[in-house]
Amino acid sequence: MSAEGKAAPQGGHRVVLVTGPSGAGRSTAIDALEDLGYETIDNLPMSLIPRLLDGPLAQPLALGLDVRNRDFSATGLIELIDRLTRVPELRLEVLYLDASPDVLVRRYSETRRRHPLAPSDTPLAGITQEIDILAPVRVRADVLIETSGMSPHDLRAELAQWFDMGKIARLAVSLHSFSYKRGVPRGLDMMFDCRFLANPHWVAALRPLTGLDGAVAAHVEGDPRYLEFISKVRDLLCFLLPAHVEEGKSHLSVGFGCTGGQHRSVAVTEAVAKALAEAGWQVSKRHRELERRGQGLPAVKGVFGA
């Protein structure tokens, strides 16, 4: 994982132009910025952007731009960047998502999509052409994020560090469910063992389900120790998170483990995430074992969109 960039200009209404080759994570970035409080618009014709910015802006704005825009050109985008940079009321930043050609080819193979620049050719042909077209724009990026080794979860955490407006807290909190049988995820700051809770695995009707299903969550919640456990974990984290903010920490990773990583840890992760969100924290979730089985949430399945 790598990110490069220069300090964004201070003052003015924040506008982020999001671009990069197809498959590098632009759609994931747009969704993440929307979660951070930005108004987002994807594939807006470039000719309409100055008119959009002429009016009053109620919140920070993120615009997705790529070769699929009907009037897209690298020269046109650079001219737009130059034009908007000179507007004193705007704080313009160019976010460029990049990835190596072999990773982009693999992502296209996984999604079986056709490349917009080579619908009748191999994805590599379109990827190579697109990288060449965008080369001048890449040089103009204020923030350049290399996503080749990133999951969508990793990208969201990185974006939170660059673009969180500070409305909630300048700390990205990520919650992970996992199976102890497959080892503890790397990089956790703290973790909680959920194996003492009632195990849905031993209920035949619940065994094929996951902690994302209401019936499984209800079974786990039925354990008489559940409510006190959730309450104490929430209180502990709400006590610790402001201290981490004061220390300048930008990211905190918390794990919840159970035997298989399918039922109890997932249900607890969902409950704690909801509790922290209600307390005003910016939270992301990752269910490691569900991702492996293709059962995770769409935002964390491991294949980037455009």
* Phi, psi values for residue 90, rounded to 5°: -110, 145
Predicted pLDDT at 232? 97
- pTM (2 d.p.): 0.53
- CA distance between the termini of the chain: 19
Task: Say if CB 156 and CB 28 are below 8 A apart.
Answer: yes
Give the largest Cα separation in the chain, rounded. Answer: 65
Q: How far apart are CA 65 and CA 287, in angstroms?
A: 30
DSSP secondary structure letter of residue 247: T
Predicted pLDDT at 11? 52
Q: How far apart are CA 119 and CA 113, in angstroms?
A: 9
CA distances from 240 to 95, 171, 235, 252 (A): 32, 12, 9, 10
Angle, in degrees to the nearest 10, between helices 264-278 and 214-221: 90
DSSP secondary structure letter of residue 191: E
Which strands, in side-by-side order, build the sheet including 190-193?
190-193, 251-258, 172-179, 282-287
Predicted pLDDT at 299? 36
Per-residue pLDDT of the chain (306 residues; tens, 9 = 90+): 345 544 444 456 889 999 998 888 888 999 999 988 899 998 888 888 988 888 777 789 999 988 876 778 888 999 999 999 888 888 889 999 998 888 887 877 665 566 665 565 677 777 888 888 888 888 888 888 988 888 888 888 888 888 877 544 457 788 999 999 999 987 789 999 999 999 999 999 999 999 999 999 999 999 999 999 999 999 999 999 988 887 767 678 899 999 999 999 999 999 999 999 888 887 888 898 998 876 544 333 333 444
Predicted pLDDT at 96? 93
H or E element, residue 233: helix 226-246
- Other Cβ atoms less than 10 A from the Cβ of 57: the count is 15
Nearest to 155 by CA among 282, 29, 64: 29
Three-state DSSP class for residue 50: helix
- Other Cβ atoms less than 10 A from the Cβ of 156: the count is 25
The token pair that represents 267 in the structure block: 């249900």
